[in-house]
């Protein structure tokens, strides 16, 4: 049995249920269970690593950090943001980097992305996790900030 | 990991694909003929789910989407 993995809020904002994410794949938790955050217009522009681990995938608009035990957490910044091709996103880390929870990985221009009429909602997914393995520690509607525990995986 | 050749088959083959791009956990594909897409074949190939709206198909394959997309490009 693996030890519980604490997943911190990668952006500051309001916690929302995954089922309310305006994307059918995330909403149905097809790639894993989790929660989403509607980022704060100002404080939400800094994107932090949710766990200690290695960046195994890094796009301007989304990334996966894998813990030493192999579990991966996906953070997606906004919906349909792949179409922006990096416009409005600044990377502060590289694929393959070892990172610590809370470390700044990306900054993004939320107002500019909202102006493209895309949702800025950020799904945080426990990749390939069993639905009952993830405890949604943060309450829907609560405010998540730097250091807030969002999910507890495998508790 | 999903089988790239079978994914390509399930999308109706090379000639049916107008555009294919990976996005972390999914392949976003625009096809010529929506009817040539086989959800059963895609699922048999290892896709977690398939979402199709007309000629726009999203094949959910998990975090290996980038690798699978690159493999499919190699097959085309």
Provide the residue ranges of all domains of chain A, joining segments of one domain with +: 5-134
Which of these, A113, A134, A141, lies nearest to A5 by C-alpha position?
A134
Percentage with pLDDT > 90 across chain B = 88
- Is pLDDT at A155 greater than 60 in this prediction? no
E-strand ranges in B1-76 read 17-23, 26-31, 49-53, 56-60
Q: Check if B30 contacts A (Cβ < 8 Å).
A: no
Class of domain A5-134: mainly beta
- Interface probe for B, chosen from A25, A61, A72 (most Cβ of B below 10 Å), is A25
pLDDT band at A21 (very low <50, low <70, confident <90, very high): very high
**Are A93 and A99 within 8 A, CB to CB?**
yes
Question: What ipTM does this complex have?
Answer: 0.78
**Are B67 and B35 within 8 A, CB to CB?**
no
Residues of chain A positioned with their CB less than 8 A from the CB of B49: 25, 28, 30
Q: What is the pLDDT of residues A65-106, one digit of tens each?
A: 999 999 999 999 999 998 899 999 999 999 999 999 999 999
Which of these, B55, B28, B41, B65, lies nearest to A56 by C-alpha position?
B65
- Is pLDDT at A20 greater than 80 in this prediction? yes
- Least-confidence region, from A111-120, B3-12, B58-67: B58-67
Tell me the whole-structure pTM to 2 decimals: 0.91
Q: How far apart are CA A6 and CA A99, in angstroms?
A: 15
Q: What is the pLDDT of residue B64?
A: 87
Which of these, A130, A117, A120, A141, lies nearest to A35 by C-alpha position?
A141
Helix (H) or strand (E) holding A17: strand A13-17
CATH number of B4-75: 3.30.1360.60
Which residue ranges make up each domain of chain B? 4-75
């Amino acid at each position: 049995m693996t030890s519980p993995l604490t997943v911190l809020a990668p952006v500051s904002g309001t916690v929302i249920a995954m089922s309310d994410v305006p994307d059918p794949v995330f909403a149905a938790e097809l790639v894993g269970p989790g929660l989403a955050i509607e980022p704060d217009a100002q404080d939400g522009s800094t994107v932090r690593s949710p766990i200690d681990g290695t960046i195994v995938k890094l796009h301007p608009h989304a990334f996966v950090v894998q813990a030493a035990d192999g579990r991966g957490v996906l953070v997606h910044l906004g919906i349909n943001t792949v179409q922006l091709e990096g416009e409005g996103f600044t990377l502060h880390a590289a694929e393959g980097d070892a990172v610590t929870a809370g470390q700044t990985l990306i900054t993004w221009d939320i107002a500019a992305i909202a102006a493209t009429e895309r949702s800025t909602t950020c799904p945080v997914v426990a990749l390939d996790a069993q639905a009952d393995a993830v405890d949604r520690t943060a309450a829907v509607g609560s405010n998540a900030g730097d250091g807030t525990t969002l999910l507890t995986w495998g508790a | 990991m999903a089988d790239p050749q079978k994914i390509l088959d399930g999308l109706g083959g090379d000639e049916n694909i107008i555009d294919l791009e990976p996005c972390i956990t999914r392949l976003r594909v625009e096809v010529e003929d929506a009817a040539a897409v086989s959800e059963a074949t895609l699922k048999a190939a290892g896709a977690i789910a398939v979402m199709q709206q007309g000629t726009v198909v999203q094949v959910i394959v998990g975090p290996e989407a980038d690798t699978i997309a690159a493999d499919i490009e190699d097959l085309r």
